[in-house]
């Protein structure tokens, strides 16, 4: 085979507006045979880990990047030598006797559609421009260059000794400083002789900054020498960035910010400084809820399903949203509208080895308790395995973050971008609590609700949080309020 049969597979665009991805693992090596649809590598975008299939048959020729490298979308990551197909078409190229330029055709071969994660992109245009005609007469080219230089006021442009016009051009303009008309006017207004100004622009052109520097030097003669000095430190400036690399590796570890961590950081900063956050707290006795959890574990309807307090907390929040639907909304800055959602995509913040992600359960409001339990179990296991798809993290309307699993009492959670509320659940602990007029040990937790004060008033936020607490204190309200 020839080079014409080598096809380059580029880092695809997942259609989520992402611009880069990190190669986590290669499943093939040079020399391996691959088939159309075979997964060749796993990459991590800013939202999830995704496996990439190759769109054709062939033999792996080269892997352009090692594992752990972040690659821009559209960059070739693997070369595959394909059998037939492109080879016969390219074989005709040498016969055309086109020197040097023709072997570049393989680079244009991806006129076929670019692969994406699902299907293929739009085919690129096959239209080609005719090559520009080169000026055959070097003397004519030199003359044209001299005329253009004169029009630009740069009459001192270098000229070839062979050109007859070269000696005449430098004669007069050689002593004329190079500067654009606006700069000349500025110098005239400030009374600066351009002949005394040291140019710093390309090709010896005097800039506005040069004129202002000359004025400053004239006003403070003693500073003239220092003014000219920065040229020397400026030259050595590029050597300074090497300093940060001298940190003590035994005492510090530097971790590149990329992938999920990079996306999370950007989202949190954007949310914190865009939506005015308000957080309210309530401490509630959840002893009855914990008893119900134990009873549901024995129910045959939940056989094989994971039943835990988070399940009932999620259901309590869904009931509270049904009673206060305006909390389930988002702020449309461009249209200056509040968008109230008539569905609930319930986000669950999940800590993974790659960072924090918030996948959501679609249409959680329409699910029965066993269906909600199944969805929660699938969501958590998929997140821990790093298999959460980008679509699973889109379209959330409200979120729950369970900081209690870390033994934390509560927190002030930051809103997930595009949402108006997030509920933080603290650790459930046995504490002394006044129950029926007596102090008894009870299961107690603290809830925190952060909301966007642009569209959620204090009254609405308080009602939602109070309803969640009421359901957890008296789980029978799941029935009476449903």
Contacts 24+ apart (CB under 8 A), 27-34: 28/60, 28/63, 28/78, 29/60, 29/63, 30/60, 30/61, 30/62, 30/63, 31/59, 31/60, 32/59, 32/60, 33/58, 33/59, 33/60, 34/58, 34/59, 34/60, 34/80
Q: How far is residue 380's CA from residue 361's CA, in Å, rounded to a whole number?
A: 11
Q: How far is residue 152's CA from residue 183's CA, in Å, rounded to a whole number?
A: 13
> Which residue in 64, 212, 277, 453 is the catalytic one?
453
User: Whole-angstrom distance between the N-terminal and C-terminal Cα of the chain?
Assistant: 69
Supply the Cα-derived Rg of the chain in whole angstroms.
Answer: 34
Q: How far is residue 337's CA from residue 397's CA, in Å, rounded to a whole number?
A: 16
Beta bridge partners of 361: 346
Handedness of CA 317, 320, 321, 322 (dihedral sign): positive
Q: How far is residue 181's CA from residue 174's CA, in Å, rounded to a whole number?
A: 17
Phi, psi values for residue 207, rounded to 5°: -105, 170
| Interacting residues of 463 by C-beta distance below 8 A, sequence separation 6+ | 320, 323, 324
- Quickly count: other Cβ atoms within 10 Å of residue 208's Cβ: 14
Instruction: Look up 212 and say whether it is catalytic.
Output: no
Give SS3 for 178: strand
Per-position b or e across 385-406, b if 16+ CB within 10 A of its CB: ebebebebbeebbbbbbbbbee
The DSSP call for residue 120 is: B
User: The tokens 């969640």 sit on which residue?
Assistant: 468
The DSSP call for residue 325 is: G
| Interacting residues of 355 by C-beta distance below 8 A, sequence separation 6+ | 259, 260, 261, 264
Active site residues: 453
């Amino acid at each position: 085979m020839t080079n014409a049969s080598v096809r380059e597979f580029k880092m695809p665009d997942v259609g989520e507006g992402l611009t880069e991805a990190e190669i986590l693992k290669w499943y093939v090596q040079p020399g391996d045979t691959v088939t159309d649809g075979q997964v060749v590598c796993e990459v991590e975008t800013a939202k999830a880990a995704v496996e990439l299939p190759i769109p054709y048959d062939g033999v792996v020729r080269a892997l352009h990047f090692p594992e752990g490298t972040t690659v821009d979308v559209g960059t070739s990551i693997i070369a595959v030598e394909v059998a037939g197909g492109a080879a016969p078409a390219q074989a005709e190229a040498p016969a055309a006797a086109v020197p040097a330029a023709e072997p570049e055709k393989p680079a244009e071969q991806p006129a076929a559609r670019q692969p994406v994660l699902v299907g293929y992109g739009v085919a690129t245009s096959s239209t080609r421009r005719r090559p520009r005609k080169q000026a055959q007469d070097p003397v004519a080219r030199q003359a044209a260059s001299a005329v253009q230089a004169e029009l630009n006021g740069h009459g001192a442009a270098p000229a070839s000794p062979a050109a007859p016009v070269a000696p005449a051009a430098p004669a007069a303009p050689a002593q004329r400083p190079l500067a654009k008309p606006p700069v000349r006017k500025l110098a005239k207004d400030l009374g600066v002789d351009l002949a005394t100004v040291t140019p710093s622009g390309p090709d010896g052109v005097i800039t506005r900054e040069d004129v202002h520097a000359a004025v400053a030097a004239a006003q403070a003669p003693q500073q003239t020498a220092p003014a000219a000095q920065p040229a020397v430190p400026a030259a050595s400036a590029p050597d300074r960035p090497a300093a940060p690399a001298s940190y003590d590796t035994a005492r510090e570890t530097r971790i590149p910010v990329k992938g999920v961590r990079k996306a999370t950081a950007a989202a949190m900063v954007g949310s914190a400084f865009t939506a005015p956050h308000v957080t309210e707290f309530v401490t509630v006795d959840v002893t009855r809820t914990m008893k119900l959890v134990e009873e549901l574990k024995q129910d045959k309807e939940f056989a094989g399903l994971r039943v835990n307090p988070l399940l009932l907390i999620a259901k309590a929040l869904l009931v509270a949203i049904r009673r206060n639907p305006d909390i389930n909304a988002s702020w449309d800055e461009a249209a200056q509208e509040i968008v109230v959602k008539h569905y609930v995509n319930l986000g669950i913040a999940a800590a993974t080895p790659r960072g924090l992600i918030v996948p959501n359960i679609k249409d959680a409001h329409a699910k029965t308790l066993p269906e909600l339990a199944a969805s929660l179990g699938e969501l958590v296991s998929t997140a821990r395995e790093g298999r959460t798809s980008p679509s699973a993290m889109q379209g959330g309307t409200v979120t729950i973050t369970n900081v209690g699993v870390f033994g934390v009492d509560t927190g002030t959670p930051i809103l997930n971008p595009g949402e108006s509320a997030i509920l933080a659940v603290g650790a459930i602990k046995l504490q002394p609590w006044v129950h029926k007029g007596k102090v008894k040990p009870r299961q107690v937790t603290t809830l925190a609700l952060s909301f966007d004060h642009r569209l959620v008033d204090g009254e609405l936020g308080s009602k939602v949080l109070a309803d969640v607490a009421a359901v957890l204190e008296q789980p029978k309200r799941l029935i009476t309020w449903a």
